[in-house]
């Protein structure tokens, strides 16, 4: 299975980052978003990040030009007809992802692998709306994509060894470290991380300590580079809540019950860095 051309669906922070690392690794990449303004913004963001690398001397002007030449703005989702691998990176809603996968299944050639960057949703359920569940797989990149080395490779119930191996080898070509994960809610990363963040929110909710001191305990006592509440603000409190709800529903275990304070902040629109207010306040 030879992967040369890649299409990324969704041009937000994750999608643009995924497109960037594929283009930087020699792949021809089409970036598509249902909102063309987002696609243009995604390409401009990649251009800005690469120019910053050139300014720092970590990327040559020639390398910058070559990467940008491999990046293409796709105006229509029909660009899927020319892709060997398609990576979906849209909003974390099952119905949205299933609708996209059903459409991609009808457009893409039979050999095309369909991957999702979901952080917690079942791969098998996404694959069920296609006629090629054996070619559907999870590629969960970490944020920010150009910096973080880990990619969780998640097999669905029907994913073949050939497809898994092709995606595994492709991930290594991106200078990333692939880790095999089976299809359970939250996979490995968020099954461990999100309950820790949720427990930090409970610790705040119950008045055990304030925001700064909770983060200090984890940074200085556990050697975490970032405190859990600061990390929650970086991820987005709405995303944290969604993943906790996915874990709670998927396992039916109350140890994954989202903290009421997390729900309250999300309902207030305090979503973290992206809104300027979460557990901490940020300049916007």
Element (H, E) at 28: strand 28-32
Q: Report the C-alpha gap between 277 and 284 in whole angstroms.
A: 9
Is 215 among the annotated ligand-binding positions? Answer: no
Is 12 among the annotated ligand-binding positions? Answer: yes
H-assigned helices in the chain: 13-24, 36-56, 61-70, 94-107, 123-127, 161-173, 189-205, 211-216, 228-235, 237-251, 260-267
Q: Quick check: 28 and 70 in contact, CB under 8 A?
A: yes
Is 11 among the annotated ligand-binding positions? Answer: yes
Is 13 among the annotated ligand-binding positions? Answer: yes
Helix (H) and strand (E) counts for the chain? 11, 8
* List of residues 6+ apart from 246 with CB closer than 8 A: 120, 121, 185, 186
The candidate with the shortest Cα–Cα distance to 8, out of 101, 92, 115, is 115
Integer distance in angstroms from the first to the last C-alpha of the chain? 45
Q: Report the C-alpha gap between 274 and 278 in whole angstroms.
A: 9
Is 33 among the annotated ligand-binding positions? Answer: yes
Catalytic residue status for 88: no
Is 10 among the annotated ligand-binding positions? Answer: yes
Is 108 among the annotated ligand-binding positions? Answer: no
Question: Which residue in the list 72, 88, 117, 152 is annotated as catalytic?
Answer: 152
Is 42 among the annotated ligand-binding positions? Answer: no
Is 99 among the annotated ligand-binding positions? Answer: no
Catalytic residue status for 111: no
Count how many Cα atoms sit within 13 Å of the Cα of residue 279 in the half-sphere of its side chain.
31
Two tokens, residue 53: 């690398």
Is 226 among the annotated ligand-binding positions? Answer: no
Question: Which residue in the list 119, 120, 198, 211 is annotated as catalytic?
Answer: 119
Question: Which residue in the list 25, 120, 190, 198 is annotated as catalytic?
Answer: 190
Is 14 among the annotated ligand-binding positions? Answer: yes
Is 274 among the annotated ligand-binding positions? Answer: yes
User: Binding site: which residues?
Assistant: 10-15, 33, 92, 97, 119, 143, 274
Catalytic residue positions, numbered: 119, 140, 152, 190
Known binding residues for NAD(+): 10-15, 33, 92, 97, 119, 143, 274
């Amino acid at each position: 299975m030879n992967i040369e051309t890649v299409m990324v669906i969704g041009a937000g922070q994750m999608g643009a980052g995924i497109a960037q690392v594929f283009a930087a690794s020699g792949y021809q990449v089409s970036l598509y978003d249902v909102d063309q303004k987002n696609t243009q913004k995604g390409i401009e963001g990649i251009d800005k990040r690469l120019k910053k690398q050139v300014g720092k001397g970590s990327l040559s002007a020639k390398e910058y030009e070559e990467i940008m030449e491999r990046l293409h703005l796709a105006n229509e989702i029909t660009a899927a007809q020319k892709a060997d691998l398609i990576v979906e990176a849209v909003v974390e809603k099952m119905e949205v992802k299933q609708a996209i996968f059903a459409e991609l299944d009808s457009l893409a050639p039979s050999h095309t692998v369909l991957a999702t960057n979901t952080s917690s949703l079942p791969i098998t359920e996404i694959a069920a709306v296609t006629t090629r569940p054996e070619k559907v797989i999870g590629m969960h990149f970490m944020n920010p994509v150009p910096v973080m080395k880990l990619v969780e490779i998640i097999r669905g119930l029907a994913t073949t060894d050939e497809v898994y191996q092709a995606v595994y080898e492709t991930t290594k070509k991106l200078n990333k470290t692939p880790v095999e994960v089976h299809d359970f809610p939250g996979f490995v990363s968020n099954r461990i991380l999100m309950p820790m963040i949720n427990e930090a929110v409970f610790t705040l909710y119950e008045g055990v300590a304030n925001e700064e001191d909770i983060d200090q305990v984890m940074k200085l006592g556990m050697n975490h580079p970032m405190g859990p509440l600061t990390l929650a603000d970086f991820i987005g409190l709405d995303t944290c809540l969604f993943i906790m709800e996915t874990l709670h529903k998927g396992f039916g275990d109350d140890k994954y019950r989202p903290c009421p304070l997390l729900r309250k902040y999300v309902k207030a629109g305090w979503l973290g860095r992206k809104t300027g207010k979460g557990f901490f306040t940020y300049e916007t």
